[in-house]
Amino acid sequence: MKTIPIPYYRSTLDLHVEEQNLAAVITAKMHGVRAEKSEQELVRDALAHPIGTKSLRELAKGKQKVVVVTSDHTRAVPSKITLPILLAEIRSGNPAAEITILIATGLHRATTEEEQRKMFGDEIVDHEKIVVNDAFRPEDFVFVQKLPSGADFHVNRLATECDLLVTEGFIEPHFFAGFSGGRKSILPGICSQETVNENHSFQAIASPYAKAGVLSHNPIHEDMVCAARAVNVRFILNVALDGNKKIISAFAGDLEQAHEKGCDFIRSLSQCPVVTGDIVVTSNGGYPLDQNLYQAPKAVATAEACAGEDGVIIMCASCVDGMGGTHFEKLILSGTVDEIEKRLSAIPPKETIPEQWCAQIYSRILKKHKIILVTTYLDHDLVRRANMIPASSPDEALAMAYEIKGKDAKVVVIPDGVSVLAVK
């Protein structure tokens, strides 16, 4: 019997699999990487050797209004480490700079002050100017231009009124944008709901290029890069994290060049050959990404790549924050997967419903695979109404999967499905 810990909320849940059933345990190499320098040293080294730009302190000289875009409570960006160093670097170039920290929420709910204190620390919350983006306040946004897809680009006006725009984030495989980080701080991070929705339209999500690890010809990525260039993002700081959310590398400098270096690094450590199983067990990497059902398709999409025909997917996600979006909840509970997909496919890009992409991806996967959701927080009746099967533990879910696929079913385990780039 093999015992495999599966990330869940702020801890793990144990999965027990008989040796003869276990086909593979797939983990990204990054979880075994141990940096030779401290997290602070890695960040400072990246800032001291920017890729494709002058140093941030040089760029900050003479710049009065500076905006630093950072991630919200759904992302594991180690801002307690990165933000103080970024702010100090800016002020070394211009001690009098007026700095605004803009939290990129996309279409997520507002980040609370309590969450900000956990993310940034009391010192920053008490002494820095922090603005939380609200995609649903039209007066906060200005039209900039049309994007390559034809979408209207409306961005938070703070990004257009500053002298220097800086972003921070972290890079991991992303199931329809290719990779996270870089340009995503702007779109969807600080765009209006209309712009985010159109970028996430049914047609864009359905593109064969809109998948993990793919940037070339990816229409979602192309719009994102265009948007970030249009508002003149001058400098980015992106980090790579291990399984414990610790920094193992950092990349700073030009929007595209630094991000590309980071993506290459992540690809080298996350790319894993596909092993096909009758049952695939995974997680969204624990908190914060597993806090709601809306975030969970990231790892489900990774599991999909390893699930054989009619394979069963077991997804472990606490969903401590519930469904994660009122529009998504309404859509995912609105009927069968065929009914949901048919309805969404008929919606023109400019009429895209907020959060519909999430229901679209779940429906696509559910048409081929049963999904068993392991959660101890989300109401199990809601899970059933969302066309999934609820379970309270990985072992309970595995027993259910064996009933569907048979006692001899081969099991593939991807403990952290968000960090793995499964390649055939």
CA dist 224 and 236 (Å) reads: 14
Among the residue ranges 79-88, 241-250, 329-338, the one predicted with the least confidence is 241-250
Which residues participate in catalysis according to the annotation? Answer: 108, 174
pLDDT in tens, 363-403: 999 999 999 999 999 999 999 999 999 999 999 999 999 99
Task: Dump strand ranges (E) for 254-332.
Answer: 271-273, 277-283, 307-316
Q: What three-state secondary structure class fits 172?
A: coil
pLDDT in tens, 120-134: 999 999 999 999 999
Estimate to the nearest angstrom the gap between the alpha carbon of 304 and the chain centroid: 17
Q: What is the mean pLDDT of residues 260-287?
A: 96
Distances (CA, A) of 412 to 18, 144, 278, 397: 12, 46, 8, 14
**Helix ranges, 104-164 (H):** 113-120, 122-127, 157-161
Q: What is the mean pLDDT of residues 136-148?
A: 97
CB 402 within 8 A of CB 269: no
Residue 54: pLDDT band with limits 50, 70, 90: very high
Q: What is the mean pLDDT of residues 263-282?
A: 96
C-beta neighbour count of 34 within 10 angstroms: 7
pLDDT at 412 over 90: yes
Share of the chain above pLDDT 90, in %: 93
